[in-house]
Structure 1
Amino acid sequence: MEMNASYTSFVAVGDSFTEGMSDLLPDGSYRGWADLLAARLAARTPDFRYANLAVRGKLIGQIVEEQVGPAAAMRADVVTLVGGLNDALRPKYDMDRVRALLTEAVEKLAPSCGQLVLMRSPGRNGPVMERFRPRMEELFAHIEDLAARHGALVVDLYGSAALGDPRMWDVDRLHLTADGHRRVAEAVWQTLGLPPEDDWLAPLPHSPRPRWATRRVADARFAREHLAPWIGRRLTGRSSGDGRPAKRPDLLPYPMPRPMDETPQP
């Protein structure tokens, strides 16, 4: 990609990963890698516009039905599409259907934007990851094939050892921490041909493994606060995103980030 590339608009499509969970802000909202990327693009481009259509819990069929059409109509310079992983984590998983829906999404989005960006999503190291690894890799192989056929870029987050480190993941073990989202923003930034500002692949510093008792307390908290509700939603056919609108549904000017030492004027 051209290192002096200029982008004037960005639309993000997907699920909780792109909505920004668990990069929590003081007001209770989520920021995430897409917001971070938009802020950096806005800082170098006057009149930059940004929309984020992603909603937590969405399956690829819902993303295609609810987000892809509006995103294509916005005709943005950059569109990111990340979806299908929620499907892969379901007990009943129809890979053929997921492949067909991803193909439909890419075929609609690629001609409508300046640059489509796809991703090989990161995965937290551990037994759950090992169970679903074959599904994920099959999904990512299809994504690579779609990118090659439609001129899309692929950000390989799955290949990052740092993003697999459990310390990069929130207590729910499903969503990245603020530092994880920052690294994803840098990865997409560099994939778009913009000059590197950080090493998003840098390994985390070594730290001793938590004691057995500490790990068991964390496991119990995870099961009580996150795993049980997640299973409950699966059994009842509910989603964490049911009835929730996109946080930024329209392609509108994105303000420059306020410096940390600047206070709002009355």
Structure 2
Amino acid sequence: MPQYHRYVAVGDSQTEGVGDGDDAGGLRGWADRLAVRLAAENPELGYANLAVRGRTAQQIHAEQLAPALELKPDLVSIVAGMNDLMRPRCDIAEVADHLEAMFAACTEAGAEVATFTFPDVSRFSPFARPLLPRVVALNSRVRELSSRYGVHLAEMYGTPVVTDARLWSPDRLHAGPLGHQLLADAVAEVLGLPDADDSWTRPLAPRPAPGLSATVATELRWVGTFLGPWLGRRLRGRSSGDGRTAKRPQLLPAEPLTLPLPLPDSLG
């Protein structure tokens, strides 16, 4: 039975917890949710989260790896690359090189490493379809590197429930509370935690498909509310993570969850 003492999460907005809570009340996220589950097996668990939204694989490697290793973790989660995939120019080989360097450094330090592949976001966001070849290419490298370094890999790509829009926040870039819980459950399974199984792969209850007018209205609202501001930041050379630092830079006890998950049918 695995039992961990020091868990450190590195990555970008998904690992920081964007989409699960807010900046005013605090972000939870899949890594926080996983830490609570780890603490159920070891109440002495120390948990740090160094992830910062907007960071590329190169930035995560340069800014987060060394501080993570200084905490002497026995478990590290490393998820990086989505911000690279969304940029006009993306070198998949370079992204994979940064991932490999982090996987290698952490495993050589004696830590177990966990990660996951990226889902096919084009299934619920038509504007993301041009990213699909990049997602497929990077996932292939992530699988290869995970096998080489003995990384615990949760397979998100090709698991139908992962692309259910009810698991995602309105911006379609970040998981919502249910999605973050699914990610935590998936990683718990590949880590072999007690009571973890593949139940996270089960589909949500079906719901009626929206009509054409509702779909068009939703797409236009998304373009104006999320895509437009995102493109504006890119054109100005800015990032959502500018000026931000890690929310949890030191090892601290995992904090219990206080808010119940919304019911899938209540998410629209």
* Same topology, TM > 0.5: yes
Distance in 2 between the 1:96 and 1:26 partners?
A: 34
Look up the match of 1:64: 61
Distance in 1 between the 2:250 and 2:76 partners?
A: 13
2:101 corresponds to 1:101? no
Q: Is the 8 A contact 1:72 1:113 kept in 2?
A: no
Deviation track 1:125-166 (CA, whole Å, cap 9, x = no partner) reads 142343211111111111112112212111111231101112
Q: Is the 8 A contact 1:47 1:254 kept in 2?
A: no
CA pair 219-128 structure 1, distance change in 2 beyond 3 A: closer
Distance in 2 between the 1:27 and 1:13 partners?
A: 22
CA pair 258-95 structure 1, distance change in 2 beyond 3 A: closer
What is the percent sequence identity of the aligned residues? 40
Look up the match of 1:87: 84
2:244 corresponds to 1:247? no
Deviation track 1:47-77 (CA, whole Å, cap 9, x = no partner) reads 1100001111110111011101111222212
Look up the match of 1:220: 220
Look up the match of 2:154: 155
Distance in 2 between the 1:46 and 1:78 partners?
A: 15
Deviation, structure 1 residue 217: 2.1
**Structure 1 residue corresponding to 2:74, chosen from 72, 77, 101:** 77
Q: Is the 8 A contact 2:32 2:254 kept in 1?
A: no
Distance in 2 between the 1:123 and 1:170 partners?
A: 15
Q: How does 1:93-172 map to 2 (within 5 A)?
A: 93-124=90-121, 125=123, 126-172=125-171
Distance in 2 between the 1:259 and 1:30 partners?
A: 11
Look up the match of 1:32: 29
One-letter code of the match for 1:16? S
Look up the match of 1:263: none
Distance in 2 between the 1:205 and 1:192 partners?
A: 27
CA pair 26-102 structure 1, distance change in 2 beyond 3 A: closer
Distance in 2 between the 1:137 and 1:73 partners?
A: 33
Distance in 1 between the 2:7 and 2:127 partners?
A: 33
Give the length in aligned residue pairs. Answer: 257
Look up the match of 1:264: none
SS of residue matched to 1:200: helix
Q: How does 1:7-22 map to 2 (within 5 A)?
A: 7-22=4-19
Distance in 2 between the 1:256 and 1:22 partners?
A: 18
SS of residue matched to 2:103: helix
Distance in 1 between the 2:94 and 2:259 partners?
A: 46
Gaps of 5+ in 2: 261-268
2:54 corresponds to 1:54? no
Look up the match of 1:206: 206
One-letter code of the match for 1:246? A
Deviation, structure 1 residue 255: 4.2
2:29 corresponds to 1:43? no
Deviation, structure 1 residue 175: 0.9
Deviation track 1:226-261 (CA, whole Å, cap 9, x = no partner) reads 11110011111110001111110112233455698x
Q: Is the 8 A contact 1:36 1:182 kept in 2?
A: yes
Gaps of 5+ in 1: 261-266
Distance in 2 between the 1:141 and 1:45 partners?
A: 34
CA pair 205-98 structure 1, distance change in 2 beyond 3 A: same
CA pair 48-207 structure 1, distance change in 2 beyond 3 A: same
Stretch deviating more after TM superposition (222-231 or 129-138): 129-138
SS of residue matched to 1:54: coil
Q: Is the 8 A contact 2:120 2:158 kept in 1?
A: no
Deviation, structure 1 residue 30: 1.4
2:226 corresponds to 1:229? no
Q: How does 1:174-189 map to 2 (within 5 A)?
A: 174-189=173-188
Distance in 1 between the 2:74 and 2:7 partners?
A: 6
Distance in 1 between the 2:259 and 2:163 partners?
A: 31
